[in-house]
Amino acid sequence: MFRSASYRLVSCRGLATNATKNLTIGLIPGDGIGKEVIPAGRQVLENLNPKHGLSFNFIDLQAGFQTFLDTGKALPDETVKVLKEQCQGALFGAVQSPTTKVEGYSSPIVALRKALSLYANVRPVKSVSGTNDRPVDMIIIRENTEDLYIKIEKTYKDPATGTRVAEATKRITEVATRRIATIALDIALQRLKNNGQATLTVTHKSNVLSQSDGLFREICKDVYESNKNKYGGITYNEQIVDSMVYRMFREPECFDVVVAPNLYGDILSDGAAALVGSLGVVPSANVGPEIVIGEPCHGSAPDIAGKGIANPIATIRSTALMLEFLGFNAAAQDIHQAVDANIREGRVKTADLGGDATTQQVTDDILARL
């Protein structure tokens, strides 16, 4: 999959290094099926092969829409405090965000990314060899802190027509873009070393948004051009976001590492999940300078919440991805191999993949393969 040696958090408050094998992991189930899949991630960590020498302390933490209804805050201060002061990693489940405005509520995962400087959302989308899925092996890297997700919006009346107007601010900064371009190029560099070739595709809409997306495009290109001695072996491409969507579904094999502003990255990575069967199998990692939070790409799925049939694979793969970014690659690869074996065999699978297994049955099958 992806070996993240370049982003090992060796300075994570002196704790998350290969010399120290005890890790404190925050567990934030959130809403809906998050409460059912996060326990699968914990079970996997608890059942890792002893050869890896890892042990874990777990801290249960609160966030989500139900937490907002119960306490008036979607992201309690205590959750942020514990993550900052005690945890090297965390697993975040899902959020049930209302589609209409609820006074005082905003997405806790968006707020958490800002509070912990989780500037990169890394989403591998990869098919498993030996299955009937199309051959796909791409990593979508999404800038995680700005764009339209800064949530500066306003509604007012147009004095000329007396009708309502809603506006949202799209923010792209040079600092954030340099940061995301660098991690994307470093990931591409790792793939170059592993595979002998790598391509970075910068996705934007600068033909319309010449200022904001134009800056994103310009800075990504500058990071690449200014470091040709390091990144020169990587093929550098650009793709307008609408044609990117078209090509991603028509010829996904053309894409390797993709970097995009926040909104486009969100849409592309969710759409790409259709190429490998389900959102229930696609993981992500929110990466910052001091902590990594694994997060499955699916939502809270209120239609199946409480039925025990949610697919735990996205969470289990996110758990492995968290370990990779913390520098524990061998343990992560064991998890990836166990998941791949489950998918390849196709005997124990949840309804989203055409099966009838429960969340725990899939988890147990993967645990047995560990």
Neighbours of 365 (CB within 10 A): 18
| 133 CB burial (10 A radius; 0-12, 13-18, 19+) | middle
pLDDT at 131: 78
Going by C-beta distance under 8 Å and a sequence separation of 6 or more, which residues neighbour residue 217? 202, 204, 206, 238
Specify burial of residue 321 (Cβ count, 10 A radius: 0-12, 13-18, 19+): buried
pLDDT at 14 over 70: no
Question: What residues contact 186, with CB distance under 8 A and at least 6 apart?
Answer: 6, 7
pLDDT, tens digit, for every residue of 28-72? 999 999 999 999 999 999 999 999 999 999 999 999 999 999 999
Over the chain, what is the mean pLDDT? 92
Predicted local confidence at residue 81, as pLDDT: 97
- Model confidence at 322, pLDDT cuts 50, 70, 90, reads very high
Residue 6: predicted pLDDT: 38
| Residue 99: predicted pLDDT | 78
The beta strands (E) that lie in 107-152 are given as: 120-126, 137-143
**pLDDT tens string 102-155:** 889 988 998 999 999 999 999 999 999 877 778 899 999 999 999 999 989 999
pLDDT band at 100 (very low <50, low <70, confident <90, very high): confident
For 326-347, the pLDDT digits (tens) are 999 999 999 999 999 999 999 9
Who has greater pLDDT, 16 or 37? Answer: 37
Judged against a pLDDT cut of 90, whether residue 4 lies above it is answered with no
Rounded CA-CA distance 276/139 in Å is: 13
State pLDDT tens for residues 255-301: 999 999 999 999 999 999 999 988 999 999 999 999 999 999 999 99
Is pLDDT of 7 > 50?
no
- Cβ neighbors of 105 (< 8 A, separation 6 or more) are 65, 68, 74, 97, 98
Residue 186: is its pLDDT beyond 70?
Answer: yes
